[in-house]
Amino acid sequence: MKRPRNIDNFFDFSKGKIMVNLTNRCNLKCLMCLAAEEEHTFTLSREKALEIAAFAIENRFPRFEISGGESLMLDYTTELIEELAGKTEHIQIITNGVFLTNNTINALKDIPGLHVVVSIHGVGTTHDNIVGKSGSFEKADKAVRQMADLNMRFSINSVIQKKNYRQVYKIYDYFSDLPYNGHSLTPVEPWFDNLLIPHEDTDWVLNQLGKIERSSKAKKKNLVCRTESFSKYHGCTFADKEKERERLFLHPGFLCSVPRHLIVINNNGDVFPCYHHKWKDYKVNLNLDKGRSIEDIVYSDNYKNMIMSATGLFGCLGCNTYCYTWDKDFDRKINNPDPIDKTITEFVEYSKREVNSLCVSMLPGYEVLRRGVEKAFGAQIFIWGAGKGGIRTFDLLAAIGKSVFGFIDSNENVWGDRLRDVPVLSPAVLNEYKEKGIPLFVVIGSVHSEEIASTLKERGFRESIDYCTNPLI
Ligand SMILES: C[S@@+](CC[C@H](N)C(=O)[O-])C[C@H]1O[C@@H](n2cnc3c(N)ncnc32)[C@H](O)[C@@H]1O
Ligand code: SF4
Ligand code: SF4
């Protein structure tokens, strides 16, 4: 395979995974699933799927994950898995379990490295009501027990949401004697507001999770459920908009390792470097349509440039998800965020060669500003400083997608002026906002940052919660 120059150091697929949604068709219609909302019109051809498998093997991806839609509806899925067998370390399929019939289980039972994840969201009718079809629980339950008897590697994934959170202990307990590889109690991703767990039950749920954790520890079960996942990663799982701001997690959007380790083929054949950033906005054709191979797309300059601009200056604002904690670099960066870490050093080295050194000198300060301003989540942003520093701050914030409500300045001669088409106001506006209970966040964009910071502190503003300083002034 002929790869363009410089690519070898850029991607590190030996740490990565390919995740393929073979189809968006599904036999079920789960309440919380986006795929259930889509028109069921896309299925990757058998040839394309096998081409992706060959690409994965050639590029030594250690993980290959098959999802959908419901991939076991297709007639080539077991063939695809057999093709990967012995050539890819971990093969994972995520399924609703309805098509895990005796025949399918027999075809899969001896595949080395295979891990079958079955999604079961409740016991009996609770599950059936969530997935919209009676009898589904019985089939999935039978399949996991059969896999247990055959010593296969399998896990259970239960998405915890409004319709089943009261059963969370029961869901864990029902399967807890099975020799599963893991049981994930996944906090629902908040696509649909009516499925969020009521905020007033937050503590109750966290208590239940604590009880489950203690029980699973005693039974030596691998429970993929940490109370901290519920409270930190998915602030939005509990319908509490106020708390969202506090819970927002620091994340490695800047210089994120994921796009250089992961390839996602989504529900309509688009190839993406992760599934949270808005890659569509780059208007690059990433679709595996007729004649276009995965290799063509991934090793194109467009794809590399898209990743560079998302994870470099003015790019991806990051995600606060645990979906990528299999990526050790991502995990380390979200759990121990430090802008001057190894990945940055690597990036700086890379940028020196490939980009221009002017940008490189700004990187650490830029990262500090960006992380600082994330705390403004949901609040109106003001810049204190209506001079050059303020305007520079305005432009930097605009470049990372943050809108500014106005400038604040102590110099009364500029009150009422407009800069970058927003008003310049007196510091009195801070008190007005506080009195009205409107959340606001101040970014100090001035060389007099220390004086301004002490004025803000006197007015009860807390550093890095209510204000931050642009270090690039
Ligand atoms: C989209 S499904 C595709 C595979 C298969 N049809 C299944 O249900 O396992 C992949 C996983 O995403 C989970 N899922 C769907 N909607 C979700 C949501 N809103 N939040 C978190 N997980 C979700 C499903 O339960 C399933 O475990
Ligand atoms: S079975 Fe899977 S793909 Fe189908 S609707 Fe449910 S979560 Fe979505
Ligand atoms: S959305 Fe998340 S995984 Fe994707 S590039 Fe941004 S931080 Fe990384």
Q: Ligand 2 centre and the CA of 197: distance in Å?
A: 20
Query: Which pLDDT tens digit goes with each residue over 202-259?
Result: 788 888 988 998 999 998 888 776 556 666 544 445 555 554 444 444 466 666 889 9
Averaged pLDDT, 155-179: 95
Q: Is 195 in the pocket of ligand 3 (CB under 6 A)?
A: no
pLDDT bin (cut points 50, 70, 90) of residue 2 is: very low
What's the pLDDT score for residue 328?
83
The predicted structure's pLDDT at residue 249:
45
Q: What pLDDT, on a 0 to 100 scale, did the predictor assign at position 357? A: 43
**Residue 318 in contact with ligand 1 by CB distance below 6 A:** no
260 within ligand 3 shell (Cβ under 6 A): no
Q: Residue 117: in which H helix or E strand, if any?
A: strand 114-119
Predicted pLDDT at 445 = 94
Distance 453 CA to ligand 1 centre (A): 46
Q: What is the mean pLDDT of residues 430-458?
A: 91
> Which atom belonging to ligand 2 lies closest to the Cα atom of 94?
2
Where is pLDDT greater, at 51 or 350?
A: 51
Cβ 321 under 6 angstroms from ligand 1: no
Angle, CA 157 vertex, CA 156 and CA 163 arms, to 5°: 125
Spatial contact of 377 and 402, defined as CB atoms under 8 Å apart? no
Tens-digit pLDDT profile for residues 363-392 = 556 666 766 776 676 788 999 999 989 998
How many A from CA of 277 to the centre of ligand 3? 6
For residues 386 and 391, what is the distance between their CA atoms, to the nearest angstrom? Answer: 7
Task: Identify the residue with better confidence: 211 or 351.
Answer: 211
Which residues are CB-neighbours of 453 under 8 A, at least 6 positions away?
444, 463, 467, 469
d(CA 371, ligand 3 centre) in Å: 14
| 437 vs 290: which has the higher pLDDT | 437
For residue 19 and ligand 1, the question of a CB distance below 6 A is answered with no
Spatial contact of 308 and 347, defined as CB atoms under 8 Å apart: no
Does 312 contact ligand 3 (Cβ within 6 A)? Answer: no
**Nearest Cα to Cα of residue 408 among 432, 443, 379, 368:** 443
List CB contacts of 164: < 8 A, sequence separation 6 or more: 121, 122, 126, 127, 130, 158, 171
Chain centroid to Cα 181, Å, comes to 23
Selected residue with higher pLDDT from 8 and 66: 66
State how far the Cα of 456 lies from the Cα of 452, in Å rounded to an integer. Answer: 6
Mean pLDDT score, 151-163: 95
CB of 30 sitting under 6 A from ligand 2: yes
Q: Give burial (CB, 10 Å; 0-12/13-18/19+) of 472.
A: middle
Question: What SS3 state is found at 212?
Answer: helix
| 70 pocket-lining for ligand 1 (C-beta < 6 Å) | yes
Does ligand 1 lie within 6 Å of residue 116's CB atom? no
Query: How far apart, in whole angstroms, are the C-alpha atoms of residue 379 and residue 161?
Result: 27
Ligand 3 closest atom vs CA 256: 8
Choice from 250, 251, 329, 331 to test ligand 3 binding pocket (greatest atom count within 8 A of CB):
251
Question: Which comes out higher in pLDDT, residue 308 or 57?
Answer: 57
| Residue-wise DSSP of 409-443 | -S-GGGTT-EETTEEEE-THHHHHHHHHT--EEEE
160 φψ region: left (φ > 0), alpha (ψ -120 to 50), beta (else): beta
Q: Which of 19, 21, 26 to mutate to test the pocket of ligand 2 (most atoms within 8 A of CB)?
A: 26
Q: Are 386 and 407 in contact (CB under 8 A)?
A: yes
Query: How large a percentage of the chain has pLDDT more than 70?
Result: 80
pLDDT at residue 365, as a whole number: 63
